Structure 1
């Protein structure tokens, strides 16, 4: 990805055209490092997305909907207090750097003109959104506060005078001529690659555009400065100058290069010659391009980050439960040998007077053995013969009582592991934050995650929906993406004659095939079974067994976790995930 200074210039140019003189109506903060400002201008409402994400920092107008928290964070409230109702006076770029200054103005309560600035710094992990008082240039606050422990170069704290990020002695390429260009080449490390020389010496140039300049000059990028002739230096400068002229003249054609597999090779403010031009996709605006590029990858990345701690908790619980199961199985094996201890006790009791006190073991004739073979019995030297006999009787009784308890514990532990693994399957299917909240709520209810402290509320405004497909024969098929959806589909949504599908003996989604009170074709049954296999723990396997039955034969035991059911009168089909033709299945949005 290359949101460099040139892309920033293209965005700023576009925003000035669309947003200058616009009124700030609403401000939201969907993420801890991201805000959305709704701006009304010339009869249109625009949503300006500003992100200080360490992974995908960016600024552009978005057309996508973002989920906002129930309670606005403190920084969002501060922005609302200072900015709502004001108008955008200007949007500027600092040099050719990835720093944007949005100046807003309006009258305060006393009728005086009031100027504020939002400074957006797109700097990787150092990205920030900073609110300034323009007249004093003092920081009111920032979305990320930076103290001296965090940075020895620059503090970003309320009350401090704002200072731009250091440029690391890089020059603005718009102020360069051939003589300065040559001097820089002569003063740099002669073994430096040409493309590296460009992006390390000039503001706003990324490795991507530096390689493009080499491509335009027909110079191999891994050549060193030392290897360049004077004519080649002039050729490189000419290509450099052509790129900068495009920037100065705002000659932007927002472009993404996407191969046949959907891989994004690059996006930029104009087409690049170093890639196959036939894969180019052109956009009407930089904002449309950036919205296309960033929305899904950023959302998926945030979901992955937010679900990682849940996944870790569940994986740890599975590990503990598997260890517990192993231990219980060992105890059950020992319990199965309990008859041995009763024989020990009976033989000791029958020969009580023949056993010398203080013996560590004794061999006695085993009257339970038809051949009356001798049996060696270990003894506790600190106990009398009678006490040793009682010790074995007690051990026998304890193991006998434990057997039924252990079998019950084994079943409960296996069910817990099955449930926890089903949660991992659900996490793999999450594609929005509401679904993640549902899983979190479920785990809080079952005691796997602590309930958030304080007054923070869980977001319950929206119920998520199961996946919906239409079979090749026109039958509706529904797929649960988490245990709450599975519970709803099976216990409330499905009718008694609908068909219920589930991958055999492994965690996975509940799949409901609506019967429409008619005979269901075999092709539709296999399509529903395919979905049950696809949305299961074993979806990486070639073949998956899938059980199906009428919903009337699916029962939910009392006091069991969400999604847990028993079923009978079922049939089993085998689905080959590699060869199954799913092209006639249609997903319904």
Structure 2
């Protein structure tokens, strides 16, 4: 409703008495899309006109010192007196006329603007360089002002389109009515937007609602509608369809000017909230989709034992029928001689390999079942824990009603890397846990892996607690690994240390070795090497464990 013609009309009616006879002292701009007229009547005051496409307005405000740099415009107006102020009927064009000039404020179209014209309507100056292309609204006998239409004419229009939907009829035939006004009329009729006109049972009910709105429009007052502290709507009459929801808080103001001034101050904050909310919502939903899809893929590949049995069966069948299979075949169908049903089984072959080599390929396909199952379990635990955390963020977001709390949540989402930090270049490295690779070995034990030398430095000396367990492959370059210890009096079980050591071995230069020595100690016993490269350290009180690398991405 903040762009509704009826709001513009009511504001013009209210402020015209104060504008008439006022002297134009100067005209200037100090912020985007707003032109300020410094006026002097009985006292000095400002007329502020915004041609912002999203939030247009023209409001009066008391005179005060504006310290921001100003660009002065419309010099020929200085010293002129306003003799006329009007809004073009059913159009959002504000006309201010002085003794020798006309000022047109055009609030719609692709190029809204404020134009200074002489008495012959020749362009003298414009606020914006892009001149608007104003297309006059064509008059039509089928278009009417809801406040003045006679019953006979309305009845004729309704009878001409009995199957037309009510919502479409209102927006098509009522001058300057927008969607919000159409919804209000439909709500007061206790009907629906797609109700056919034939259900109206004549024009009386519609005329009754028109008269209600017209009376409220003519009365003093204007209304702002809030959800929590977030400003949603401004209207020159009651919006019953919003008030009936129980979610809206209504604030009544004595004048449109007072309400519109508050709207102009608060709506940008509400817009910021909505924009931030949408950004957070999209980031969370995108991550949730990824996590759920990843868990589904893991679940599909979970039955590794069954896959191994099927592969071994195919290998044995190939050896059984090796003399019947033609060389260079890409597939073969054989009877399952190991089953009482003797069902047919299709086996895909690599035509470049012999039958025996193809059989060995099937035998070796799932030879490390135990390790595969362990890796699958670790991946599942990692994904499931993050899924719970992201779902908790989603719940926090749905309960966020204040900008301050939403900004805090937005920072958390940035810390997780779900949204790119717009100020990343300006900020120093911060201790975000999500800068490191995170692996869940058990519901109680999180493992963090450095991604490079600088990341290793942050992990060990900025993120790790003194009592966390630090691990690194011995004698070779590799990632620093941390087992996060929740409390000082807790110690990771031997199994957790072994798994973390296998991860440290896998993220080192010795990842292809069959056995790798990995040292571990508490993080407090790790020291930077003086004048050493990032990530270079000396270690005390370490222990060494020999493990096979656990290649999570292998």
Structure possessing the higher radius of gyration over alpha carbons: 2
| TM-score bracket for this pair, using the shorter chain length | 0.3 to 0.5
Q: Name the TM-score, length of structure 2 as normaliser.
A: 0.46
